Structure 1
Amino acid sequence: MIKKILKSYDYALILAVILLCSFGLVMVYSSSMITAVSRYGYEPDHFFQRQKLALIGGSIAFIAMMIFPYRAFLNSKLLKLIVLGSIAILGSLFFIGHVAGNANSWIKIGGLSLQPGEFVKLSVIIYLAAVYDKKQSYINSFTTGVLPPLIFTFIICGFVIIQPDLGTAFIIGMIAICMILCSGMGMKSIAKLIGIFVAAILLISPFILLNSEKFITEKRVDRFVGFSDPFEHASAAGYQLVNSFYAIGSGGLQGVGLGQSVQKYGYLPESHTDFIMAIIAEELGLFGVMFVLVLLTFVVLKGFAIARKCQDPFGTLLAIGISSMIAIQAMINLGGLTGLIPITGVPLPFISYGGSSILLLLISMGLLVNVSMFTNYRETYKKPGSSVASSTTKQVKSIPQQQSSSMR
């Protein structure tokens, strides 16, 4: 039994995650050692050590999620705990939140800083996948099938917007849209959702305008100004983007060498977080960039392939949500540092420094590997006419059936 389970794991996906995290750890050290000393007065390996600890904790969570049956999240008590816990932890930020980057998005526990908004992304994915799994028979019913998931998503996005963390709220909204489009909902229901979404924007807009000093800050305006013409504002609003261009342009094909970046010497702010790919381009050139892009693309496409292969609506939507999250974050990060979109402060998945981000990603990937394992297991050992002995087949079949009935 254990051998069959082990054979069902997707080791190519696991290897891709290990390579991304390992490469990211090396680049966090390379890109942050100067910043750690000159800007914060820390030891050169300060950010490296913190990222390493986050990776150790994330690896434990990754393994746990690989083993934990994903359909357990369909348990109504556990699902309620996830929903209420997400709302509660976002609400607690108004009382115990720590402000960083003009956003009240952090909770400090001793020497640790956690960003609840990161983990709420996965909560939304699990909730939407579970709800749409249970509502398949009446998914186009507006009051019972369409509206409840939308209300929860709006509540979560509302809490995140108030922090204000517009980037995270946008990502959560985009993930929800991807999952809704793949949920099996009819076009009429989707059209109604679009109407509600437009109406919500119109309702929220006056609130944002009335609180413009909180939402339309000088920093956010500068991002649009710098994006529109970075070299015209190279000493102010376009400073980050111009230095990102310099880093990318100077790397060429092979780069200037690992650890040899010039831009990380105070020229490129956030070189170990939002702009770490610019440092990769400078130090390792096109080869380093392609290494990251190929692995990220593989992980995303593998996730969508798992979703397509999975016969379980819950597992399918989980895979779609997790893959969409990684793809959306990567596109936003890369679009910002290359000047295709305004800079948003979204980290590059698996590569950028950030304990909350890497924890979320490894938990999510463990869940995705779990979906893949159960999908492969059922496909291999539950096929009609399988060569497995009948007694063994009955034993194998009983496990998913027992698990499924216990989760309903």
Structure 2
Amino acid sequence: MLKKIIKSYDYSLIIVLVLLSLFGLVMIYSSSMVSAVQRYDVSSDFFYQKQKLHLIAGLFVFVFMSIFPYKIMKSNKILGIIVVGSLVMLSALFIFGHVAGNAQSWFQLGSRSIQPSEFVKIGVIIYLSAVYAKKQSYINEFNHGVVPPVIYLVFVCVLVAVQPDFGTAAIIFSIAAMIIIASGMNIKNIMKLILIGAVLVLPFVLVLQDEIFSETRLSRFEAFNDPFSDEQGSGYQLVNSFLALGSGGVNGLGLGQSVQKLGYLPESHTDFIMAVIAEELGVWGVAFVILSLGFVVLKGIYTALKCKDPFGTLLAVGISSMIGIQSFTNLAGISGLIPLTGVPLPFVSYGGSSILQLSFAMGILVNVSMFVNYEQKYKHKESEKQSSLSKKNITGTINFPS
């Protein structure tokens, strides 16, 4: 039994995750070594050493979640802990939260900080997947089957948005939308949700319009529209990102040879790490990251399509959507396709909360994939054996007339 389970794990997915994380660790050292000394007045390997600890902790989380049966997570007790825990953590930020990047989104624990909204993402995925999986028999009953989980989603998005962190709130909402679309709900009810959502969002926007349309946020749209009109002001980050992206060419300047990381490109080891990768490693480095992230997303979608358990299917959809949406948001932001949002690149950017949350999520995805492979490889064979044995028994008991 244990041997069959071990053989059922998707090692191609695990290998890609390991390579992507190790690649990110190397690039964090390369991109942060100058800013660590000049900007933060710490040793050149400060962020590298911290990220290494994050990855070690993430490894334990990943291994545990990959062997923990995912179906246990849909129990009412665990779902209750997720709902209460996420709402309490997000609410506590307004009292005990630490302000960083113009948002009160962090708990400061000594020299370390934790961003609860990162963990709330996976909480929302687990909760919505479990509830809509349980409601399959009446998924199209709007008041009973559709609305209740959405109420929790609205509370979460509002609490994240008023920190204010509109980028993360939008990502959580987008992930939830993918789960809702994949839940089997009909188009009529989805359109109802969209209409109700628009009605609820409008007064929220009116109340917080000064915060939403603040000078800082509007400057991001101005920079997105024409970053070169204010190269030393609102367009500074994007202009330097363009310079980094365009300087690498096909082969890059060489590992460690980035010019833009020498104080010109802010947050070079977090939001803009792909710009440094493009400058140092060229098209080959960018292709490795994009193809690896694409492989993870496609594996998640493949697992969702093959899984016969509604809960496992929706989990795989939610997790692969999260990786895909965050990757697109980061890459599109630094290349000027959308306004900058401050979203890190999964597995590659520096960040403890991000790595732990991603390790947790990918452990679940690998676990779901293992169950799918196990059922396909071994349960199918066992059913075929039982079927052939029953046919033999039936044939042996029939007495044909002479």
TM-score (norm. length: structure 1): 0.93
> Which amino acid in the other structure matches residue 201 of structure 1?
V
Q: Secondary structure at the match of 2:259?
A: coil
Q: In structure 2, what is the Cα distance between the partners aligned to 1:322 and 1:379?
A: 22
8 Å CA contact 1:336, 1:342 repeated in 2: yes
Q: In structure 2, what is the Cα distance between the partners aligned to 1:5 and 1:94?
A: 45
The residue number in structure 1 matching 2:214 is 217
Q: In structure 2, what is the Cα distance between the partners aligned to 1:132 and 1:376?
A: 24
Structure 1 unpaired stretches of 5+: 391-408
TM-score (norm. length: structure 2): 0.95
Deviations 1:340-399 (Å, cap 9, x if unpaired)?
000000000100011101111111000000000011111222116656689xxxxxxxxx
The residue number in structure 2 matching 1:20 is 20
> Is 2:99 the partner of 1:102?
no
The residue number in structure 2 matching 1:368 is 365
Please list, as runs of the form range in 1=range in 2, the aligned pairs for 1:235-384 lying within 5 A after superposition: 235-383=232-380
Please list, as runs of the form range in 1=range in 2, the aligned pairs for 1:150-165 lying within 5 A after superposition: 150-165=150-165
> Which amino acid in the other structure matches residue 343 of structure 2?
V
Q: In structure 2, what is the Cα distance between the partners aligned to 1:385 and 1:82?
A: 37
The residue number in structure 2 matching 1:404 is none
> Which amino acid in the other structure matches residue 160 of structure 1?
V
> Which amino acid in the other structure matches residue 357 of structure 1?
S
Cα displacement (A) at 1:303: 0.4
The residue number in structure 2 matching 1:146 is 146
Which has the larger Rg?
Answer: 2
Q: Secondary structure at the match of 2:372?
A: helix
Q: Secondary structure at the match of 2:271?
A: coil
Cα displacement (A) at 1:244: 0.6
The residue number in structure 2 matching 1:398 is none
Q: In structure 2, what is the Cα distance between the partners aligned to 1:199 and 1:16?
A: 43
8 Å CA contact 1:381, 1:388 repeated in 2: no
Q: Secondary structure at the match of 2:104?
A: strand
Q: In structure 2, what is the Cα distance between the partners aligned to 1:232 and 1:90?
A: 38
> Is 2:65 the partner of 1:65?
yes
Deviations 1:84-118 (Å, cap 9, x if unpaired)?
10101111111111000010000011221000000
> Is 2:50 the partner of 1:50?
yes
Please list, as runs of the form range in 1=range in 2, the aligned pairs for 1:68-79 lying within 5 A after superposition: 68-79=68-79
Deviations 1:13-41 (Å, cap 9, x if unpaired)?
00010011000000000000101000010
Percent of residue pairs bearing the same amino acid type: 59
8 Å CA contact 1:175, 1:321 repeated in 2: yes
> How many residue pairs end up in the alignment?
387
Cα displacement (A) at 1:142: 1.2
> Which amino acid in the other structure matches residue 225 of structure 1?
E
Cα displacement (A) at 1:216: 2.7
8 Å CA contact 1:58, 1:363 repeated in 2: yes
Give the aligned CA root-mean-square deviation in angstroms. 1.2
Q: In structure 1, what is the Cα distance between the partners aligned to 2:213 and 2:35?
A: 29
Q: In structure 1, what is the Cα distance between the partners aligned to 2:226 and 2:89?
A: 39
Q: In structure 1, what is the Cα distance between the partners aligned to 2:109 and 2:226?
A: 41
The residue number in structure 2 matching 1:128 is 128
> Which amino acid in the other structure matches residue 234 of structure 2?
A
Cα displacement (A) at 1:297: 0.3
Structure 2 unpaired stretches of 5+: 388-402
